[in-house]
Amino acid sequence: MTTTAADRSDAVAGSRAPGQRAREGRGVATTAHIALILWSLLVILPLVWTLLSSFKTSQEVLGNPLSLPSALRFENYANAWTTAGIGRYFLNTVIVVGSALVLVMILGAMCAYVLARFTFPGNRLIYYSMLAGLTFPVFLAIVPLFFVLKNLALLNTLPGLIITYVAFALPFTVFFLHSFFKALPGEIYEAAQIDGAGEWRTFFSVMLPMAKPGMASVAIFNFLGLWNQFLLPVALNTDSKNYVLSQGMASFASQAGYAVDFGALFAAVVITVAPVLVVYIIFQRQLQVSVTAGGVK
C-alpha cells in the first residue's frame, strides 16, 4: 500500500494528460456541489417553512401553505409560551437536563476513574455490566422502572426524572471516560501522592482537570441525549405541570387535533429548535469533533 516517491512520479508521467484530468475533476466537483446543495435544501426547506408558518394565522396555514405570512404575528409566540405552556415546559427541561447533566458528569467521572485506575475484585464485572446496560433497550425496563419510582415516591416528580436520567446516561459516560482515565500516565498519580494529596484531592485537583477534553465531549453528547429524551418523561412524568419540552410538544400537537392553533404550534416548534440550533452553530466545530471521537468507538 505504501508508495515511494519514485514510483509516484513515474506513474504520473504515464497517466493521462493533465488538462483532461482537470476538466474531468471540475465536472465531478460540479456534480458533487449540485448533489450536496439538493440535500441541503431538503434539510433547510422544512425548517424555513416552519419558521414562516410560525408567523401565520391558523387560516393562513390551512388555506395556502406556500404563501408568505401577511404580517409577522409575534402573538403566536406569546400564545405558545403561555397558553400552550411551552414556557413552563422549557423551564422544567432546563432544570431537569441541567441537574441531570451536572450529576451524571460528576458521578460518571468518579466511577470511570475508579474503574480505570484501581484494581479490586469485581472491577471487570462492574464495567461489563455497565456495557450491557448500554445495549439493552430501555423499553424492557420501563414498566418495572415505573414501579421502582412509585415505591420511592419519585413518580411524577422532577427529582425522580433527574435521577432516572442520570442512571441511564451513566453507562455511556463511564464507558467513554474510562479510556481517558486509563490513558493518563501513572507517574502523575504517584507524584500527587508523594506531594501528600489524598485520593479525593488527587482526583479533583489533578486527574479531573486532565480529563477535560473527554469531559467536554461527553457533556455535549449527554446534553443532546437528555434534551431529546422522550420515553422516560412520557412514562414516568405524567403530571402536566411537570412536563418537559419534548412531551409537552407531543401533547400540544395531539390533544387539540384540528382545533389546534397552528400558528402557535409552529411557534412552539421554533422555540424548541432555535436555542439548540444557535448553540450548535456557535459550537459546531467542537460538537462535530466530539461526535466523531465518540461515535467511531
Partner 1 sequence: MTTTHEAVPGGGPKRSVTRRRRPLTFDRASFMVVFLGLPLVIFVVFVVSPFVQALYYSLTDWSGFSAGQNFVGFDNYVRLFHDDIFLKAVRNNVLLAIVVPIVTIVLALTLATLVTIGGSGTGTVRGLRNSGFYRIVSFFPYVIPAIVIGLIWAQVFTPGSGILDALLTKIGLEQFENYAWLGDARTAMPASMFVMIWGFVGFYMVLFIAAIRGIEPEVFEAARIDGAGRFRSAVSITVPLIRDNVQTAYIYLGIAALDAFVYMQALNPGGGPQNSTLVMPQQLFTTAFTKGQFGYSTAMGVILAAVTMLFALLVFTVNALTGGRERKVKGRR
Minimum CB separation from partner 1 for residue 82, in Å?
Answer: 20
- Site for partner 1 contains 241 (CB under 8 A): no
For partner 1, which is the closer residue by CB, 38 or 78? 38
Specify the residue, 31 or 205, whose C-beta has the smaller distance to partner 1: 31
What is the distance, to the nearest Å, from the Cα of residue 87 to the centroid of all Cα atoms in its chain? 21
Q: What is the DSSP letter of 206?
A: I
Q: Which stretch binds partner 1 (CB under 8 A): 68-76, 83-91, 199-207, 208-216?
A: 199-207
| 265, 176 Cβ separation under 8 angstroms | no
Candidate list 121, 137, 196, 257; residue touching partner 1; CB under 8 A: 137
Answer for which of 82, 83, 102, 190 binds partner 1 (CB under 8 A) is: 190
> Looking only at residues 245 through 284 of this chain, which bind partner 1 when binding is defined by CB under 8 A?
245-247, 249-250, 253-254, 262, 265-266, 269, 272-273, 276-277, 279-281, 284
* Residue from 203, 211, 242, 267 in contact with partner 1 (CB under 8 A): 203
| Helix, strand, coil in percent for the chain, rounding step 5 | 80, 0, 20
* 8 interacts with partner 1 by CB under 8 A: yes
- Is residue 209 part of the contact set for partner 1 (CB under 8 A)? no
Site for partner 1 in 88-127 (CB under 8 A): 107-108, 110-111, 113-115, 117-119, 126
Q: What are phi and psi of 124, to 5 degrees?
A: -60, -45
- Residue by residue, DSSP assigns 41-70 as HHHHHHHHHHHHHTTS-HHHHHH-TTSPPS
Site for partner 1 contains 187 (CB under 8 A)? yes
Cell numbers 440535500 correspond to what residue? Answer: 39
Distance of CA 96 to CAs 164, 237, 252, Å? 10, 12, 20
| In the complex, least distance from residue 129 CB atom to partner 1, rounded to whole angstroms | 7
Name which position in 199, 208, 210, 219 contacts partner 1 (CB under 8 A): 199
Contact 87, 153 (CB under 8 A): no
Residue 205 touches partner 1, criterion: CB under 8 A: no
Cβ–Cβ < 8 Å for 69, 52: yes
Q: Where are the beta strands (DSSP E) in the chain?
A: none
Q: How far apart are CA 286 and CA 223, in angstroms?
A: 14
Site for partner 1 contains 153 (CB under 8 A) = no
